[in-house]
Amino acid sequence: MRYLARDDSKCIQCKACEEKCSTTYFKVNDRNKSCIQINEKDGKPEINVCDQCGECIDICPVMAITRDKKGVVRINKKICVGCFMCVGFCSKLSMRQHDDYIEPFKCIACDMCSKVCPTGAIYISERDDSEALEMPSEKIFNK
């Protein structure tokens, strides 16, 4: 399964990843339109991004959310009815919504943000699907 791994301890909060994500997919520099978000928790950086867990797949009433052959969870915008149940259901708060769009959006592990990260705090990695189900997300992402 392909996913965007992270190491919060390396993040310097430059937010280059947020800019790259929003300008790549929405053609505007707006952190609210970025699939990856850099927040602060207890005075330290916290990278929030979809871990491709797939919990949102079963909650979608029209089956617009599926996993592709690389293990990436994707939203089919042609099928999505914009109910945003997936946004409310996401336990990691990584499914995004913005008032400019009628569909939710999320990280698809495209690797664009990791290419601009000056410290290597985010990077594309692979893991076995069964490994992802057995491990808590904090262990998967904070190696």
What one-letter code names the amino acid at 2? R
H or E stretch covering 131: helix 129-134
37, 48 Cβ separation under 8 angstroms: yes
134, 27 Cβ separation under 8 angstroms: no
For each of the chain's 143 residues, which pLDDT tens digit applies? 889 999 999 999 999 999 999 999 999 999 999 999 999 999 999 999 999 999 999 999 999 999 999 999 999 999 999 999 999 999 999 999 999 999 999 999 999 999 999 999 999 999 876 554 443 434 434 43
Give pLDDT, residue 133: 47
Give pLDDT, residue 128: 79
pTM: 0.84
52, 72 Cβ separation under 8 angstroms: yes
